Structure formats: structure tokens, C-alpha cells
Amino acid sequence: MSRRPLMAGNWKMNLTPAEAAEFARGLRGALLDLPAVDVAVFPTSLAIPAVLNELANTDVVVGGQDLHAEVKGAYTGNVSGEMLKSAGCGMALIGHSERRAYEGEAGEQLANKAKAALRAGLTPIFCVGESLDERESGRTLDIVLGQLADGLGWLTESALGKVVIAYEPVWAIGTGKVASPEQAQEVHAAIRAWVGNTWSAGAARSMRILYGGSVKPANVAGIMTQPDVDGALVGGAALKVDSFEAIVRFQES
């Protein structure tokens, strides 16, 4: 079966609301004739309304970069899945390596965030990946599959069907060191096999698994040729309309 590619731009802590709106206007023009792929962008929470406004009546999905597990309450500085949903978001990143590294997010907390995203009706993009140290000591698959088991292992098969997984080797994020297509494929195939063993062959076949880490117009096509790579989660190269457009249009190059 064929899985529809998803090309996602994670803007991280970049672009003011005004800059984000300008970017979204550019994107709207660039993606008028959207190829047969899904496209999503993840602005800061503050810029979400402006971006949604500019992308109204397009197929581009807007998502949150994080969410809190609770619906509301005394959690200073946080935003809930319900708030993202009511603002008009369709997706949320969960467990991005920068949140794991700088905010200490892990394990059950991320499982609760995945649960919260599903409760709110958002598609979680659940991010996993190994550090350089972990790769060099041969522990890549243990780490990645362990993060997935902790975060998603409790899901029913029908809930899992609403999840997207992103494999992002930490050593490749923002470093210019992209995993080779074969390195990406090896981990993606292992993730798909894990989904198959944990749930079913059907769940494995339909799971979308994105690759992230220094994806650029020049390397996206090679990565996307791999049979178990279903899209890309892009940071730096998603901050320019022309390079993000080239990534979205990888099939045309």
C-alpha cells in the first residue's frame, strides 16, 4: 500500500508573528498547486493564529511544537492540546530532541502528551532518535525502540492509526550531518517491524515514519527513495520559502 508523504516544517523558536505571517503568505503562493503530499508547518504558539489566517482554505496543516498533558490549569507557560485544537491546529510535535535535551522530557510524560494530543483530536508526531554516543556504541535501535515503547506502547491499534512517528538522529539535527539514506532506512525498517510486532502487519503498513535531521533540497530526494521513509521533519531548511518548497516538491526534481 502506498503511504502519502508528509513534509513538515518545524520553525522552532524563530519568526515573530509578523514574520511568520509573511512566510505563510509566501508559502501559500508557492504551494498553490500542491503536489500529492501532505504539508504541515509548526510555528511558535504565538504565531499560530497569524499563520492559520494566512493559510486559510489551503491544505497546509498548522501544528503546535509541544503541548501540555492537561486540558487547563496552573501550568505557567504551557499550552494544552485543546487550546491548539480550538485555535485551528491539526497536529502537535511531541518529544522533539530539543525538548528532551533542554526541558528534560522523557518516558511517561511524553506518553501523557501523546494521549493528550489524541484526546484533543490532534495528530501527534512522536519524535525519537539516538545521540552520537548511543549510535557509536551500537545502541541506536535499543534507544529508538525504547523511546517508542515508552511513548506509544500503551496505545490501542485504532489510536496508533492516528499517530505519525519521526526518526531524528540527534547527531544530525542542525549539524549539517544528514544520515545516509541507508542509515535512515535501517532505523525506519526497524521501527516499522516494531509496530508490526507490537500491533499488527496492517498497523505497520499504514504507519507514516518521517526522517528528520539536516534535510535539505539537495538530499531530500535520496532519503525519500527509501521504502520506509514517508516524509521529512525539517528545521533550518524550512525557514526559507524556496527551500521548503523545493523539499515539498521533491518528486519533481
User: Minimum distance from CB of 93 to ligand PGA (Å)?
Assistant: 8
Tell me the closest approach of the beta carbon of residue 194 to ligand PGA, in angstroms: 21
CB of 220 to ligand PGA, least distance (A): 11
For residue 199, give the nearest of 146, 153, 148, 236 by alpha carbon: 153
Helix ranges restricted to H, the chain? 17-30, 48-54, 81-87, 97-102, 107-120, 132-136, 140-152, 157-160, 181-198, 201-206, 217-224, 241-248
Q: Which of the following is catalytic: 68, 98, 168, 188? A: 168
Residues of span 188-247 touching ligand PGA by CB under 6 A: 212-215, 233-237
* CA atoms in the 13 A half-sphere facing the CB of 220: 27
Q: For residue 103, indicate whether it is catalytic.
A: no
19/70 with CB nearer ligand PGA: 19
Nearer to ligand PGA, 191 or 233 (CB): 233
Q: Name the catalytic one among 96, 98, 130, 134.
A: 96
- Number of residues interacting with ligand PGA: please give it, by CB under 6 A: 13
Instruction: Tell me if 185 sits within 8 A of 229, measured CB to CB.
Output: yes
SS3 92: strand
Residues from 2 through 41 that contact ligand PGA (CB under 6 A): 10
Among candidate residues 114, 50, 49, the one with its CA nearest the CA of residue 81: 114
The conformation of residue 74, written as its DSSP 8-state character, comes to S
* Piece in contact with ligand PGA (CB under 6 A), picked from 13-21, 63-71, 166-174, 192-200: 166-174
Cβ–Cβ under 8 Å, residues 95 and 151: yes
Q: Which is nearer to ligand PGA, 31 or 128 (CB)?
A: 128
Q: Which of residues 36-75 bind ligand PGA (CB under 6 A)?
A: none
CB of 20 to ligand PGA, least distance (A): 17
Q: Give the nearer residue to ligand PGA in terms of CB position, either 171 or 199.
A: 171
134 is annotated as an active-site residue:
no
Of the two residues 155 and 234, which places its CB atom closer to ligand PGA in the complex? Answer: 234
Work out the widest C-alpha separation in the chain, in whole angstroms: 49
Q: Which residues pair with 56 in a beta bridge?
A: none
Residue with cell 485543546: 82
**What percent helix, strand, coil does the chain show, rounded to 5?**
50, 15, 35
Shortest CB 248 distance to ligand PGA, Å:
14
Known catalytic residues are 96, 168
User: Would you tell me which residues interact with ligand PGA (CB under 6 A)?
Assistant: 10, 168, 173-174, 212-215, 233-237
